[in-house]
Structure formats: C-alpha cells, structure tokens
Amino acid sequence: MMIEELTEKVVRFRNARDWQRYHTPKNLAASISVEAAELLEIFQWSEDGYEVVEDKREKIAEEVADIFIYLLLLCHECGINLIEAFNKKMEINESKYPVEKAKGKSSKYTELD
C-alpha cells in the first residue's frame, strides 16, 4: 500500500469512531512521543537491544505501528506530504553529513572536520 492509501485507511477508522476531535496536531504529536516512550521501555536495561528483539519482536512491531499510525494522522492534519518531507530531509542530511566527513563517526554535523 502507498502512504496515501494507509492514511485513508487510518482516517476512515478514526472518523468511523468520531475521534477526529481528539486528533489535534498537539495531541497527535504527544501521542507519538508517548508511543515512542513505550517502544523505548521495551529496550530499557538491555545491553544493546539485540537480545530483546528476538523475544519481543511482536510488541516492538505493535509500538512501531502505533507511532506510524499517529505520524500518518499528524501529517494528514498538518497537510504534510510524508514522502516529500522524507526526501527533503534526506537531501539536507546528505549535505550536512557528506560521506567523506561523516563515515564511521557519530558526531553532530557542526562537529565534523
């Protein structure tokens, strides 16, 4: 499915339940943060997270899906084309983090030589 189709599906689901009044940009941004925290909680206290993935893959998938659903709704409410925003940000990242300066480094772009 394309992003537009996924957005239409989640908007239909939401509207059928008369939840659109709760889905303000602020509430959706907060919901993304809450769901991201729930995702992070799965990995809390793990060494590097890899050992958690095998046992909790299903729960991780649920939290990732929750984040994605709220992201689709936020983009819908704000009139943001997610694919265009993604492509634009990747172009920005390419210029901030050129391979010859950033390869193998975790430094912020302002700290690259």
pLDDT tens by residue, 49-96? 998 998 999 999 999 999 999 999 999 999 999 999 999 999 999 999
What region does 45 belong to: left with phi over 0, alpha with psi -120 to 50, or beta? Answer: left
For the chain, percent of residues with pLDDT exceeding 90: 82
Q: Which residue has the higher pLDDT, 47 or 34?
A: 34
Q: What is the pTM of this model?
A: 0.90
110 pLDDT band (50/70/90 cuts)?
confident
pLDDT over threshold 80, residue 1: no
25-43 and 50-78 helices cross at what angle (nearest 10)?
180
73's enclosing H/E stretch is helix 50-78
Domains of the chain: residue spans and CATH:
3-102 (1.10.287.1080)
Q: Is the separation of the CB atoms in 110 and 68 below 8 Å? A: no
Distance CA 43, CA 50 (A): 9
